[in-house]
Structure 1
Amino acid sequence: MSNDDFFYELQKHSEAKLNILDNYVVPWMRIITMGPYGERALVIDGFAGTGKYSNSDGSSIRLIKHVLKFCEQADQNNWDCPQLLILLIEGNRDNYNELLRNIYEITSLDLRDEEDFLPISDYPSIQVSCRFGDFDEILNSMLGRLKNGQTLIPSFCFIDPFGFKDTPFETIKKYLTNEKSEILLNFIYEETNRFITAKNPKVQSHMKSHFGIDNIQSIQDLVKGTPAQLRKQMIVDFYSRQLLENTDVNYVLTFEIKKAGRAKLILFYGTKSIEGLKVMKKAMWKVDGTGLYMFDDRKDPAQIEFQFTQDLNDTILLNDLCEILKNQYSGQHVHIKEIEAFVLTETIYPLENFCKKALKNLEKNDGFIEVKNRKVKGTYPKGTVIQFK
């Protein structure tokens, strides 16, 4: 495959990444804009590209189409149209010009040399801006215009660079100080791993910026001489700690994407919201239902399948969760809300299709639990208290 093919044809490992974006962004928009407060929201694509591959839409055009479809559904159901801003950033001039043409095709918006957000004629509450320039500079400029005490409206930022030098940790940290901000970051693991022990001062400078550290020697010493799998885990854990300890996010979720059996990308999702974590876990589980949170393109190219899917079926996974709940709560009275929070934050499992099914198995098959404060057997509504034996 030529380099041109790489950029113009969507490959299977990149499709997995975009499918996670697809699975997440629509529920996120609904939660923010259609909730009790009907908040205005901002979606950012930090590396928008041309918006299209030869065989598929890219992230930026997908985002716009999702929003348009959302508005159509709102019309059909007599809902208020959501108030959404879409900011697309692209630093390659040729890609930027092609992106403008692709946006015009579906919105009739002429965004050339236009820094303001322009409304889509059919849905004026949806406004789009397409900016030419570096992600780092444009995002910092936008954040710099916030006055003391101001914060961004609820926002989601998809960060999908070509290399590690384009995503300084300090910029991500600054963005995440905003109250309702979250990221889905494509951490270029293969390239990071290749250059993490480089001696070149320029590369070391980029690497320090990438990880948000002053001394690159600390992480070089950490990974030096370690086996590949352990090295990968060390790097992922290090970056996760950076997000959890040095930004305002409360939850970090990762997803590994392999190409030809080798770790290519690591997606990092960071959020302050347990509701966001719930939605992203579900989004990732749709792409890999094994609990491994991993895509490997060596499988059948006509499908999105993952290692061990046939072996780790739902029965095995549910049995595993049942054992986890037994070990965690044996002998205790526990509120359903606490159980759901534990499953969401401390296990691999999403709530949907697992938590309540596991409780049902424990009640029906094992008699391991007794349920109070409910009217219908086999259900676990809010207010339910469960006695674990």
Structure 2
Amino acid sequence: MSTDHFFIELHRHSEAKLKILDNYLVPWMRKITMGSFGAERALVIDGFAGAGSYGNSDGSSIRLIKHAIDFCEQADANNRKRPQLLILLIEGNEENYQELLKNIYRVTSLDLSEEKGYIPIPDYPSIQISCRFGKFDEVLKSRLDNLGTRETLIPSFCFIDPFGFKDTPFEIIKRYLKNEKSEILLNFIYEETNRFITAKNEKVKAHMQRHLGLDDIDSVQEMVKGKSATERKQLIVDLYSRQLLDNTNVKHILSFEIKKDGRTKLILFYGTKSMEGLKVMKKAMWKVDDTGLYMFDDRKDPNQIEFQFTKELNDNALLDDLCDILTDSLSGKILSINEVEEFVLTQTIYPLENFCKKVLKKIENKDGFHNVTNKNGKRNRGTFPPGTVMHFK
């Protein structure tokens, strides 16, 4: 299938997923190289790098490079050592690949046309880029095979944004996620998956089975039969989430629905083993849609996808909702601030910023605790510093 038309202009529903990538990547780099991981190096993979440009906007591959450069410049400004960043770009369309090489040269002055290994950017030698022509699963499999006696990749993040469901066999995603510090942001092609999941053609069924990581698609076809659009979508999302949780070391899954003309076009799946990663990605997704639904709909106000920091909350209904969730779910429990934050992070739709401590203050003002103490000393009412312990009524 030709994809040339796709790169002429960046459509708004595609911009939503790239905004999430923008919002997440630098905090991820900071978390890996300067945070608790303290890794010397980190790897970023773009599995479907495209041409690097949509004409009216940078594509994901060029954004990754620019984010890495920005991060190095932040390190310089703060007198920190530049992080060691490897960027692997994979593209399987020959025309797009050649255009990608030109765009990489435009941004970095790197000529990668004859190079297969990682080559440093002249002005930013701690950033090294490898650009490979080939199918995503084949190139990634080759890289994983080449680990040799090493058991795992360095800490890595893989952005997977295919054009069709047959390009992302679950087996390679499963193998990649076996690495201890690996994460994915996957564009799950929901529209095509939903259309062909009940196909009777054996070739299509085989592609679907590989896509979903199933030995047999017949039981799933029977399961979705007669279901409403909403029920069917929930079944498919739950199925893929379970596949990730049951077959990899991923501990946390976030999904983000992207609509076009009112129809579900894409569902982004984020998978991580890290609580900190979950925290950062929730914040990244909330910047694109702060309704709490984790849904982008291109029929809404165009300003919804403008980059902005987490908004000051105007709608008290969201705070009231989280307040009800905590008081109902945690009634009678004695929990530390860390345990409450973990509950909000893993069991609710809300990110921590602008929500958790505001809601705890609201609960305290409503006399919703038997008592609140701080093992590190005194605390001011309405504040919840480290060491705070709450006994919920």
| Band of TM-score, shorter chain | over 0.9
1:147 to partner: Cα distance: 2.4
The CA RMSD measured in Å over matched residues stands at: 1.5
Q: Is residue 2:72 matched to residue 1:65?
A: no
Q: What is the one-letter code of the residue matched to 2:346?
A: T
Structure 2: gaps spanning 5 or more residues: 307-312
Q: Is residue 2:348 matched to residue 1:347?
A: yes
1:304 to partner: Cα distance: 2.8
Q: What is the one-letter code of the residue matched to 1:376?
A: N
Q: Under a length normalisation based on structure 2, what TM-score does the superposition of the two structures give? A: 0.94
2:52 counterpart residue number: 51
Q: Is residue 2:172 matched to residue 1:171?
A: yes
Whether the 8 Å CA contact 1:290–1:313 is kept in 2: the answer is: no
Q: Is residue 2:6 matched to residue 1:12?
A: no
Q: What is the one-letter code of the residue matched to 1:193?
A: N
Counterpart secondary structure, 1:372: strand
CA distance in 2, matches of 1:289, 1:79: 33
2:336 counterpart residue number: 335
CA distance in 2, matches of 1:109, 1:15: 27
Whether the 8 Å CA contact 1:50–1:95 is kept in 2: the answer is: yes
1:336 to partner: Cα distance: 1.0
Higher mean alpha-carbon deviation, 174-183 vs 66-75, is at 66-75
The 1:3/1:246 distance shift into structure 2, 3 A limit, reads: closer
**Deviation digits for residues 222-253 of structure 1, max 9, x if unmatched?**
11111111101100000000000011100111
2:28 counterpart residue number: 28
Whether the 8 Å CA contact 2:39–2:155 is kept in 1: the answer is: no
Q: 2:382 is matched with which residue: 367, 378, 382?
A: 378
2:270 counterpart residue number: 269
Q: Is residue 2:353 matched to residue 1:359?
A: no
Q: Under a length normalisation based on structure 1, what TM-score does the superposition of the two structures give? A: 0.95
CA distance in 2, matches of 1:213, 1:31: 34
Whether the 8 Å CA contact 1:85–1:117 is kept in 2: the answer is: yes
CA distance in 2, matches of 1:155, 1:137: 18
Q: Is residue 2:248 matched to residue 1:247?
A: yes
Whether the 8 Å CA contact 2:19–2:305 is kept in 1: the answer is: no
CA distance in 1, matches of 2:3, 2:102: 23
CA distance in 2, matches of 1:128, 1:147: 21
Counterpart secondary structure, 2:305: coil
1:309 counterpart residue number: none
1:218 to partner: Cα distance: 1.3
Structure 1: gaps spanning 5 or more residues: 306-311
1:324 counterpart residue number: 325
Q: What is the one-letter code of the residue matched to 2:235?
A: M
Whether the 8 Å CA contact 1:184–1:267 is kept in 2: the answer is: yes
Q: What is the one-letter code of the residue matched to 1:375?
A: R
Counterpart secondary structure, 2:82: coil
2:310 counterpart residue number: none
Q: Is residue 2:87 matched to residue 1:86?
A: yes
Q: Is residue 2:298 matched to residue 1:297?
A: yes
Counterpart secondary structure, 2:132: strand
CA distance in 2, matches of 1:3, 1:128: 24
Output aligned runs, 1:93-112, within 5 Å.
93-112=94-113
Whether the 8 Å CA contact 1:184–1:268 is kept in 2: the answer is: yes
2:235 counterpart residue number: 234
**Deviation digits for residues 299-335 of structure 1, max 9, x if unmatched?**
2345439xxxxxx953111101111111122222211
Q: What is the one-letter code of the residue matched to 2:381?
A: K
1:377 to partner: Cα distance: 2.9
CA distance in 2, matches of 1:381, 1:25: 28
Q: What is the one-letter code of the residue matched to 1:78?
A: N
1:5 to partner: Cα distance: 4.5
* Shift >6 Å, 4+ stretches: none
CA distance in 1, matches of 2:323, 2:254: 22
Higher mean alpha-carbon deviation, 180-189 vs 37-46, is at 37-46
Aligned-pair identity in percent equals: 71
Counterpart secondary structure, 2:264: strand
CA distance in 2, matches of 1:327, 1:345: 16
Whether the 8 Å CA contact 1:185–1:267 is kept in 2: the answer is: yes
The 1:326/1:303 distance shift into structure 2, 3 A limit, reads: closer
1:39 to partner: Cα distance: 2.8
CA distance in 1, matches of 2:103, 2:7: 16
Counterpart secondary structure, 1:240: helix
Counterpart secondary structure, 1:170: helix
CA distance in 2, matches of 1:252, 1:332: 26
CA distance in 2, matches of 1:4, 1:88: 18
Whether the 8 Å CA contact 2:7–2:53 is kept in 1: the answer is: no
